[in-house]
């Protein structure tokens, strides 16, 4: 359905307009579009209740550390490919990636990565910086939702269940904007939809065991010059 239809149904659902007797005027439609885009922006800012993961490709540039990916909200997995074989790269925290000693300007096979949210998307950091062996890099994460206009057709990028969810979310926002109470049965349905949304495409919280007597994690000269990042 189009954004204008979602706005009309949200106004009906909220009780602001009667379905059989009234149609939205220009002011109500403009208010509805504003709050619909605010809802989409909020989902994209927090990553909460976003419906879809995506797999984005990065074209590696020899010696380049930072790559910008538009509209990416969170990143969970980064891999690269050499001669048709996929290799994983270890994610590091901000402190470990940016705050610990290391030798810079090494071109080899990346073994650490880190991400930062920036305006409009995300920066992906790689260490070592890619060399010419790498054919491609792929990042898996949650994809943000774009702003819409009245004529935007949602069927092309959102399933029906999520469009229904947006109608109820928008109805709540419109009730708050017009300072009226949301009908109790609509509020209860919204709460149920939010709970159901959390079970769609859940994040992987599987724990990974880490040895307390293994590697110290310190980057040594031998690793830089001989291990090339691929040490046990």
Same domain? For 39 and 78 the reply is no
Same domain? For 34 and 73 the reply is no
The residue written with tokens 């990346």 in the block is 110
Is there a domain that residue 205 lies in? Answer: no
Same domain? For 119 and 67 the reply is yes
Average pLDDT over every residue of 110-126 = 94
Mean pLDDT across the chain:
85
Is there a domain that residue 80 lies in? Answer: yes
Is there a domain that residue 211 lies in? Answer: no
Total-model pTM: 0.77
pLDDT of residue 212: 44
Same domain? For 32 and 89 the reply is no
Is there a domain that residue 34 lies in? Answer: yes
Same domain? For 35 and 106 the reply is no
pLDDT > 90 in the chain, percent: 61
pLDDT of residue 133: 82
Is there a domain that residue 105 lies in? Answer: yes
Tokens of 13: 């659902």
Per mean pLDDT, which range of 41-55, 105-119, 129-143, 200-214 is the poorest? 200-214
Strand partners, 11: none
163-to-3, 7, 28, 40, 169 alpha-carbon distances in Å? 9, 11, 20, 11, 10
Of 210 and 60, more confident:
60
Is there a domain that residue 227 lies in? Answer: no
Same domain? For 132 and 161 the reply is no
Same domain? For 98 and 138 the reply is yes
Same domain? For 46 and 77 the reply is no
Average pLDDT over every residue of 122-132 = 93
Report the domain count for the chain. Answer: 2
202-to-13, 83, 109 alpha-carbon distances in Å? 29, 32, 31
pLDDT digits (tens, 9 = 90+) for 190-231: 999 998 888 776 555 554 555 544 454 544 443 444 454 444
Same domain? For 74 and 120 the reply is yes
The residue written with tokens 């935007």 in the block is 152
pLDDT of residue 204: 58
Verify cis geometry, omega within 30 degrees of 0, for the bond prior to 128.
yes
Q: What is the DSSP letter of 183?
A: P
Burial code (b: 16+ CB inside 10 Å, e: under 16) for 157-193 equals ebeeebbbbbbbbbbbbbbeeeeeebeeebeebbeeb
Same domain? For 19 and 60 the reply is no
Same domain? For 68 and 135 the reply is yes
Q: Which domain holds residue 34?
A: 3-50+145-197
Is there a domain that residue 115 lies in? Answer: yes
Is there a domain that residue 225 lies in? Answer: no
pLDDT of residue 220: 41
Same domain? For 72 and 122 the reply is yes
């Amino acid at each position: 359905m189009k954004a204008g239809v979602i706005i009309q149904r949200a106004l009906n659902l909220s009780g602001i307009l009667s379905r059989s007797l009234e149609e939205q005027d220009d002011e109500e439609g403009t208010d509805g579009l504003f709050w619909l885009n605010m809802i989409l922006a909020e989902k994209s800012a927090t990553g909460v209740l976003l419906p879809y993961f995506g797999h984005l490709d990065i074209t590696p540039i020899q010696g380049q550390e930072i790559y910008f990916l538009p509209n990416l909200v969170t990143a969970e997995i980064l891999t690269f490919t050499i001669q048709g074989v996929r290799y994983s790269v270890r994610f590091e925290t901000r402190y470990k990636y940016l705050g610990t000693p290391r030798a810079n300007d090494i071109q080899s096979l990346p073994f650490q990565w880190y991400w930062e949210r920036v305006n409009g998307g995300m920066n992906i950091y790689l260490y070592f910086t890619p060399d010419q062996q790498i054919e491609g890099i792929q990042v898996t994460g949650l994809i943000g939702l774009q702003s819409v206009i009245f004529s935007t057709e949602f069927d092309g990028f959102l399933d029906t269940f999520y469009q229904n969810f947006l109608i109820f979310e928008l109805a709540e926002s419109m009730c708050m904007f017009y300072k009226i109470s949301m009908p109790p049965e609509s509020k209860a349905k919204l709460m149920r939809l939010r709970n159901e949304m959390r079970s769609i495409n859940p994040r992987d919280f599987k724990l990974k065991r880490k040895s307390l007597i293994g590697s110290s994690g310190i980057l040594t000269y031998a690793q830089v010059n001989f291990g090339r990042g691929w040490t046990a």
